């Protein structure tokens, strides 16, 4: 089953659940009222979700003057992906992580933490940014906004049972209403998480195609997962509803690929990327190439790719990093 088809099925299930809960709890009138409220929530999320989340994480925008290498990397990858140039942000947080946001490719933004800039090699960071641009290209940020809003509307409808006791024509009774209050939001959350996991696999695949080197992303995922286990993200812990946005779940205790996780297990994602690299062979070509430095550079996070926790060199199955002189020494973002 393709990722797109699976996502469509899950979205349909979420919508059906929403409609069913609305009817059971409030009849036709209650469902219409809740639906109008949900539409308002969706409209606000559509136009403002990116601004809210960037402000939540205190992200600051950078450009070619303030972060020349990082900005140039995103620009070249966006060109590879046939996307408009997104806005580029840096978050002052020691946990290595990144996310994309925005309602469509023309209004997109990618954000990376200072932790990820300091942890990954140039090649690995290119793999991560390609993954985030894949989310932009797939309109995943809009999909997840819609599913999160519908999930919230379902929870709201279930809470209506406290005040209205469900549809008077229903035979649910107190026990049935109580069960619906508990099970409906849980079911919505499970569907939302399943959609999120599905989109991560798709973004991994397309991100590998954008940068042309699946093992760059595989190596990065291993390093990021290790960093997340060691370094907490305080802003994410305060706002767990945003966890699905990140390339690796930033919350502690989220490591299993099960019904209750927002992300696939990192080892499963790495394995799929390794399979993809093996299938591409050694002469894949057509991928993103690093414009700076040489593989033997030392010092700083741009000192060449390393295998991380994924194995291999982290440089993919072929493709070279051209020598073009030494990199600037002012740090990874300027």
Predicted local confidence at residue 242, as pLDDT: 81
In this structure, the strands spanning 109-113 and 87-91 are: parallel
pLDDT for residue 75 is more than 90:
yes
Global confidence as pTM: 0.74
pLDDT-derived band at 334, boundaries 50, 70, 90: very low
In DSSP terms, 100 is beta-bridged to 110
Predicted local confidence at residue 303, as pLDDT: 38
Q: What are 146-196's pLDDT values in tens digits?
A: 676 667 667 766 766 656 555 554 545 666 666 766 777 677 667 667 677
- In this predicted structure, which of 158-172, 242-256, 306-320 has the lowest mean pLDDT? 306-320
Contact 100, 135 (CB under 8 A): yes
CA–CA gap between residue 18 and residue 197 (Å, rounded)? 21
Q: What are 314-323's pLDDT values in tens digits?
A: 433 333 332 3
Residues 132, 209, 234, 275: which is the catalytic one? 132
- In this predicted structure, which of 114-123, 140-149, 222-231, 299-308 has the lowest mean pLDDT? 299-308
Residues contributing to the annotated binding site: 131, 135, 200
Domain ranges of the chain: 3-280
Question: What average pLDDT is seen over the chain?
Answer: 75
H-helix or E-strand spanning residue 105: none
Residues contributing to the annotated binding site for Zn(2+): 131, 135, 200
Please indicate whether residue 267 is annotated as part of the active site: no
**Residue count (the chain):** 334
Residue whose structure tokens are 């073009």 = 324
Predicted local confidence at residue 326, as pLDDT: 32
- Please, which residues have CB within 8 angstroms of residue 280's CB and are 6 or more apart in sequence? 214, 317
Which of these, 154, 146, 135, 151, lies nearest to 8 by C-alpha position?
146
CA–CA gap between residue 311 and residue 170 (Å, rounded)? 58
The predicted model gives 78-96 an average pLDDT of 96
The predicted model gives 196-212 an average pLDDT of 90
pLDDT for residue 224 is more than 70:
yes
Predicted local confidence at residue 324, as pLDDT: 29
């Amino acid at each position: 089953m393709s990722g797109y088809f699976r996502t469509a099925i899950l979205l349909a299930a979420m919508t059906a659940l929403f409609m069913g809960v609305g009817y059971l709890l409030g009849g036709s009138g209650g469902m219409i009222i809740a639906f109008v409220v949900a539409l308002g929530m969706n409209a606000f999320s559509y136009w403002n979700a990116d601004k809210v989340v960037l402000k939540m994480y205190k992200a600051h925008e950078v450009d070619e003057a303030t972060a020349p290498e990082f900005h140039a990397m995103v620009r070249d990858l966006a060109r590879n992906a046939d996307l408009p140039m997104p806005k580029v942000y840096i978050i002052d947080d020691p946990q290595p992580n990144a996310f994309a946001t925005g309602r469509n490719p023309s209004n997109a933004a990618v954000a990376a933490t200072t932790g990820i800039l300091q942890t990954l090699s140039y090649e690995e960071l290119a793999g991560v940014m390609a993954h985030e641009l894949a989310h932009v290209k797939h309109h995943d940020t809009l999909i997840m906004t819609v599913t999160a809003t519908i999930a919230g509307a379902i929870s709201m409808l279930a809470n209506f049972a406290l005040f209205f006791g469900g549809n008077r024509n229903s035979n649910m009774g107190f026990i049935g209403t109580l069960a619906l209050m508990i099970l409906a939001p849980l079911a919505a959350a499970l569907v939302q998480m399943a959609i999120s996991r599905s989109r991560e696999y798709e973004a991994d695949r397309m991100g590998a195609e954008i940068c042309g080197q699946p093992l760059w992303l595989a190596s990065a995922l291993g390093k990021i997962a290790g960093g997340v286990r060691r370094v907490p993200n305080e802003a994410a812990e305060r706002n767990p509803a945003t966890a699905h946005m990140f390339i690796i779940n930033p919350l502690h205790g989220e490591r299993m690929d099960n019904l209750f996780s927002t992300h696939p297990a990192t080892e499963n994602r790495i394995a799929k990327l390794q399979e993809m690299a093996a299938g591409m062979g050694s002469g894949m070509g057509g991928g993103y190439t690093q414009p700076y430095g040489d593989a033997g550079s030392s010092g700083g996070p741009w000192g060449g790719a390393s295998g991380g926790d994924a194995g291999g060199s982290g440089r993919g199955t072929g493709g070279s990093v051209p020598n073009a002189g030494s990199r600037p020494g002012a740090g990874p973002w300027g």
